[in-house]
Amino acid sequence: MSRPGRPKGEHRSAQRAGNSINPPSRSKGEHRSAQHEGSPVSVAAPGAESADLAFMRAALAIAAEAAARGEVPVGAVVVRDGAIIGRGGNSPIAHNDPTAHAEIAALRDAGRAIGNYRLPGCTLYVTLEPCAMCAGAIMHARIARLVFAARDPKTGACGSVVDLFAEARLNHHAVVTGGVDAEASAALLGAFFAARRRTEPEASPS
């Protein structure tokens, strides 16, 4: 199956940790799904768009809390049957843990909540396109649907750098929707890195 082209105005986003980058440009909401043969196609049911927006804003609130702690602002929630069962914010700096991404924290929280490491029938909402590590964890958890806001052109594993959910050789595939409230996420990331640049000491002249 041929891959659809990326939409015009697709924004740029940030890596979860490390050096600052240029703020992402804004884009309109983007919809995409897994691209391998026989993959499910994400079709919004009546009221689904408003529900996606509400849950993404819950994730954005967690991302803002991460920014207040000095972490790159990424937040995630896991939803089952219309209720949030897991929450997570980016915290690799605080925990000295390179795996402490928002998605991982939300998956762990949800697993504890239901007493199972598998999360079938659940949707994960995250404010930044997952990296390869988080995409793998999402697959292992058997998440049914992934919804993300801003794209990550440097580490994104949902089509920006690689598209693991379109890899037919992998044995689980979530339906993927991108670009939900992307402008809000891009603004949060841009403000965070702008503030970091202002507070970083200027380089000494050579």
Active site residues: 103
For residue 83, give the amino acid letter. Answer: A
- Measured CA to CA in angstroms, residue 177 lies from 76, 117, 149, 200 at distances of 14, 23, 9, 36
Q: The tokens 């750098």 sit on which residue?
A: 161
Q: Is 179 left (phi over 0), alpha (psi -120 to 50) or beta?
A: left
Burial category of 81 from C-beta neighbours within 10 Å (exposed 0-12, middle 13-18, buried 19 and up): exposed
Which of these, 77, 157, 167, lies nearest to 122 by C-alpha position?
77
Q: How far is CA 116 from the centre of its chain?
A: 22
Distance CA 21, CA 204 (A): 20
Whether 196 and 20 have beta carbons less than 8 Å apart is answered as yes
DSSP 176-193: EEE-TTHHHHHHHHHHHH
